[in-house]
Chain A
Amino acid sequence: GAGVSQSPRYKVAKRGQDVALRCDPISGHVSLFWYQQALGQGPEFLTYFQNEAQLDKSGLPSDRFFAERPEGSVSTLKIQRTQQEDSAVYLCASRPPGSDTQYFGPGTRLTVL
């Protein structure tokens, strides 16, 4: 079946612009995670949803970062007033009920100029 999809795959933004990154999880997966991966580093946890509830946002680096999942399926990660240090790959993962295996999307590579 279809895996986790993310769009866009690549995004170039000028410093100060707002961006929105989309994640389509696998159907039926109630848990959804966002990660930030800097070049040469492992994924860093940003936030976690169970259905539409955002249960953990402790990893969001600043109040410029905002995530939502209003209907418990598609999720959007929004970054306001982007800065150069926001340049990274943003990964989304979903997880089915009763499992601890996360299924990752291909990521969105954000470059802030």
Chain B
Amino acid sequence: EAGVVQSPRYKIIEKKQPVAFWCNPISGHNTLYWYLQNLGQGPELLIRYENEEAVDDSQLPKDRFSAERLKGVDSTLKIQPAELGDSAVYLCASSLGLSSDYQETQYFGPGTRLLVL
């Protein structure tokens, strides 16, 4: 069974440019999460989807970050424009979606490492 797939694995852009990350969750997983992981830190939740609905986006900086999960399967996270401080690893995870809280095991993708110059 395929795990969570993310692309690209690495991205280098100049500041003020737009960038997009793609995630395909494990088949059958209804809940999808995007995390930000800075160097030396643990993952920080940006947004959580249950199917196509964003149920927790309180930590998403909405002035420059956006996300979508149009058909309730794969998802895209976008930054526009990127800033130097956005350099980090962006993680996607998924879970079955049988529970409305955070007790479910999350399955993580390998992440996209972003460097903004």
A and B physically associate: no
